[in-house]
Copies of this chain bind each other. A is one copy, B any other.
């Protein structure tokens, strides 16, 4: 998952973004995990290399990367935004127990279509499927399902995982 510095430079340049040590660290941290961290998670992580980096810079940078299409922002029933450097089409498994998000790649799901009648003038540019349920860890812990859109709070197991 470690992104080559040249590759990163490449991607930034292609979208006319300036490269700074802070941005490199933020993007690197995000590209190096599949845990869909929050801005705060990323700030904690990046602070190890850049002790003076401000949360502000993390928010600003994530905004810039999002506008440039280099990161994707998700917010299902979370109290804050989560980010993903995987911008290839993929889908999500969202745990109603711990609120974790796993990526799901599935060719068949990439090809969904809607009848012209049903979409009634809406012009579709993309889609994504969210599956709800309970992750392996929460199943093991014995999590009976409540409804979707419910408010169980995450038990929070450090959403940056190993790095």
Contacts and interface: CB of A to CB of B under 8 A. Distances in A.
A131 B135 contact: no
Given A67-B151, A151-B63, A75 B75 contact: yes
Interface in A46-105: 63, 66-67, 69, 71-77, 93, 95-96, 102, 104-105
Question: Majority SS of interface residues in chain A?
Answer: mixed
Given A69-B147, A136-B120, A139-B121, A115 B106 contact: yes
A123 B139 contact: yes
Interface in A127-160: 127-136, 139, 145, 147-151
Contacts of A75: 75-77
A95 B126 CA distance: 11
A132 B139 contact: no
A4 interface: no
Nearest to A96: B125
Nearest to A147: B69
